[in-house]
Amino acid sequence: MAEVIEKTGFQRLEDFILVSKEGKKVQADIELRKVTVKQKVHPETTEDTSTEIDAYMLIGDYVFRVGEDVYKVSKPYLLGFLGEPLDTIKLEKNIANERLKLDYGRLREAKIEIEEKYF
């Protein structure tokens, strides 16, 4: 198995789209994840004394194969806050999925095959 290269000149989806448009074969996979984070808040903007809010990020981890080389690119699709109403959470999930659809479309246009997954 090829070693995954994480820090290179290839750091954005657009980099792989350009490589594919140059005629090189590019393959892609994606894994989706939800990460819990603490969002720092200025103390004067909240009513309580807490300066951190529990939040989450929806992230897509792309793995691209160009020839024998394998590259990993992570892209955040949404920052949301824990404890929000269910309707808000569903809306945020839909927003993240629409952003994913746009990226899948860009990859397809560049002839990069990827199995579409959604949050």
Q: What global pTM score does this model have? A: 0.83
Q: 4-8, 19-23, 54-58: which has the minimum mean pLDDT?
A: 4-8
Q: Measuring CA to CA, which residue among 63, 64, 86, 61 is closest to residue 75?
A: 61
The domain spans of the chain are 4-109
The model's pLDDT over 98-108, given as tens digits with 9 standing for 90+, comes to: 999 999 999 99
Q: 40-54, 65-79, 81-95: which has the minimum mean pLDDT?
A: 40-54
SS3 state at 39:
strand
SS3 state at 32:
strand
Give me the pLDDT at residue 107, please: 98
Give me the pLDDT at residue 6, please: 54
Give me the pLDDT at residue 4, please: 59
Q: Measuring CA to CA, which residue among 72, 77, 71 is closest to residue 100?
A: 77
Average pLDDT, the chain: 91
Taking the C-alpha atoms of residue 103 and residue 6, their distance in angstroms, rounded to an integer, is 20
Confidence of residue 38 (pLDDT cuts 50, 70, 90): very high
Q: Is the pLDDT of residue 5 over 60?
A: no
Taking the C-alpha atoms of residue 59 and residue 74, their distance in angstroms, rounded to an integer, is 7
Per-residue DSSP letters for 59-81?
Answer: EEEEEEEETTEEEEEEEEEEEEE
Q: Is the pLDDT of residue 8 over 90?
A: no
